[in-house]
Homo-oligomer: A and B are copies of this chain.
Amino acid sequence: MSPSENNGYSAKRYRTPDGAPADIVIFTIVSSPKNTIQKSLPLRELQVMLIQRKAWPFEGMWALPGGFSKETETLRETAMRELEEETGVENVHCQYLNVYSTPGRDPRGWIISHAFFSMVREELLQHRRAATDAADVRLFSVDEALESLELAFDHRDIIRDALDKLKEEVLRTTLAKQFLPDEFTLGELYQVIRTIIPSFQEDNFIRKLKTTRRQGILEPALDAEGAPVYSTQFSQRPAQLFRFTGNEPEWSIYG
């Protein structure tokens, strides 16, 4: 049924948008071994994946991966499709961020963009490739992307908004699990949080997460006999492994 067949209604009475793309801020945490004599936790850096545009507008500039939505899919499906095309990875985290509609934001016309952000573990990003509309694709540290790079469109705003949301949610929700394996040590969790929020410091972090209120959010990893599991991957002394239960923390007022 075409619109013009219905009771004289026409959606074309006004100008309509020239496109509805989804842009995706793909975050990853890149680990590099610390230069120490003994086993240690790696150095970690929060990075963002950008593509280099190979066509007008903003040709040659770095931009967020993304693409136009089709009328047969939701914007989430658009984002997931583009995410899989750019990274070669399926079933990863992807979360809606905001809509960007400032007039003139896109020189191609009236184009309202929907931004998503995604947290992908670095080992899943090995197969990234330049899509057909990109000259190159690479990871930049978030600081570099925000401070030194001239970005296409309003993509700097989008990355900043995504980073703000990431910082807020990594403290308030269990979002950090996206950057961790199923079973992890509390030292690793602490490091992930500090990678995203360098100023974060809690002296008794490990003890704190093991006490009452957090039970229900984290649980010890258990082996087949029901005994706690320990790892020496990052330390001499074995560290207890934990997993997320799937519960999200709830908050009471102004607490």
Contact = CB atoms under 8 A, between A and B. Distances in A.
Interface of A: 1, 3, 6-7, 9, 11-12, 14-20, 55-57, 68-76, 96, 98-99, 101-103, 107-112, 114, 171-172, 174, 193, 202, 209, 213-214, 217-218, 249, 251-255
A107 to B, nearest CB: 7
Copies of this protein in the assembly total 2
Nearest to A103: B72
Contact of A252 (B101, B108, B111, B202): B202
A6 B114 CA distance: 24
Contacts of A255: 213, 249, 255
Nearest to A69: B101
B252 A3 contact: no
B14 A17 contact: no
Given A96-B99, A255-B255, 18 more contacts: A3-B108, A6-B56, A11-B108, A11-B109, A14-B70, A17-B17, A17-B19, A17-B71, A20-B20, A69-B112, A74-B101, A75-B112, A96-B98, A171-B251, A193-B253, A202-B252, A209-B253, A213-B255
Contact of A15 (B55, B71, B99): B71
B217 A11 contact: no
A98 B116 CA distance: 12
